[in-house]
Each structure stands twice: as structure tokens, then as C-alpha cells.
Amino acid sequence: MSLDKVKAFFADCGMADRIREFAVSSATVELAAAALHCAPCRIAKTLAFLAGEQTILIVAAGDARIDNRKYRETFGIKAKMIPPAEVEARTGHAPGGVCPFAVPAGTLIYLDGSLRRFETVFPACGSSNSAIELTLPELERCSGAKAWVEVCALRE
């Protein structure tokens, strides 16, 4: 189970006790914000893309959306999301629980600048009813992010 892999991952960091599990779904930004009693923008959603055969995960604020021009300028290719039927095989997590933790080797992870407005954010933990609160330095360290990027625009 994906949540168990993420729990083991955070146990190695001494942080497994910080994972929150909910009796309700947290599979979307809106549901996660309701479960956590926080603003939707503080949800750190993980978006999954393909670059040829390479999996790219971008962690962005809940109120951000991919800006195709910025994505193309940053990665040199058009943004192509992973088809839902392939998400779990490529990321190790089913849709609704995709996160940047305990992912297959070789997965490239980037953090979007839309997150920099917050001291802490809430990424999922591998299931559609879990999350963890992390500071940005913790998110950067725990995700193994390759870099910070600016590929999103905020929703108005």
C-alpha cells in the first residue's frame, strides 16, 4: 500500500507521527483543505507529467495551475500530464494520493515557486485521505527536489 511506503519513508526521517489520516477523502485540493481546516492554497498538490519516458512531478500550491508557456520555457517541451491509468505505475501512488515521497528511482521532482508564500504546506502522503504538514525546507529535503521552478500561475 502506498500510504505504508510513505509512512516507512517518514519513519526513517523520524517524522511518521506527523502524518495525518482522515475519515473523509482528501483526494482533491478542496477536500484536503476541508479535512485540514486550512485555505486551499496551502495544499501542496503534486502534478505528474511525462517528458518522453521520464516522470516529472511538480509540487505546487493548491491555487496554482500550470502555465504552459512557463513550463515549455523551463523544460523545453510541452506540458503533458500522465494519463490517469498510468499514474500509479509511474509515481507509486494512485490519483488523489500522489506525493513526492517514496516515488520510483529516477523520478524528477521540482517545487514550484507558488509555495514560497507559506511557512508550512500540506502535501498528500500516498493515499486519498492523508497529508503531512511540512515547512518549505522540510519539503525540499524530504522530497529530494531537484530544484525550485516557476512554471505555475495563480488562479484569480
For the chain, percent of residues with pLDDT exceeding 70? 99
3-state secondary structure of 12: helix
**Distance from chain centroid for Cα 14:** 20
Residue 1 has pLDDT above 70, yes or no: no
Amino acid, res. 26: S
Nearest to 44 by CA among 116, 102, 93: 116
Please tell me what DSSP assigns to residue 79: -
pLDDT digits (tens, 9 = 90+) for 15-36: 999 999 999 999 999 999 999 9
Query: What mean pLDDT, rounded, does the chain reach?
Result: 95
Q: What is the CA radius of gyration of the chain?
A: 14
156 falls in which pLDDT band (50, 70, 90)?
low
**Distance from chain centroid for Cα 2:** 14
Q: Where are the domains of the chain?
A: 2-154
13 falls in which pLDDT band (50, 70, 90)?
confident
155 falls in which pLDDT band (50, 70, 90)?
confident
Distance CA 86, CA 69 (A): 25
Q: Do the bridges between strand 43-51 and strand 120-123 make them parallel or antiparallel, or are there none, so unpaired?
A: parallel
CATH number of the domain located at residue range(s) 2-154 in this protein: 3.90.960.10
Decide if 62 contacts 131 (C-beta within 8 A): no
pLDDT digits (tens, 9 = 90+) for 45-56: 999 999 999 999
Q: What's the pLDDT score for residue 46?
A: 98
Q: Residue 59, CB half-sphere, CA atoms under 13 Å: how many?
A: 31
> Between vectors from CA 35 to CA 131 and to CA 129, what angle results, nearest 5°?
45
State the pTM of this model: 0.95
pLDDT digits (tens, 9 = 90+) for 91-121: 999 999 999 999 999 999 999 999 999 999 9
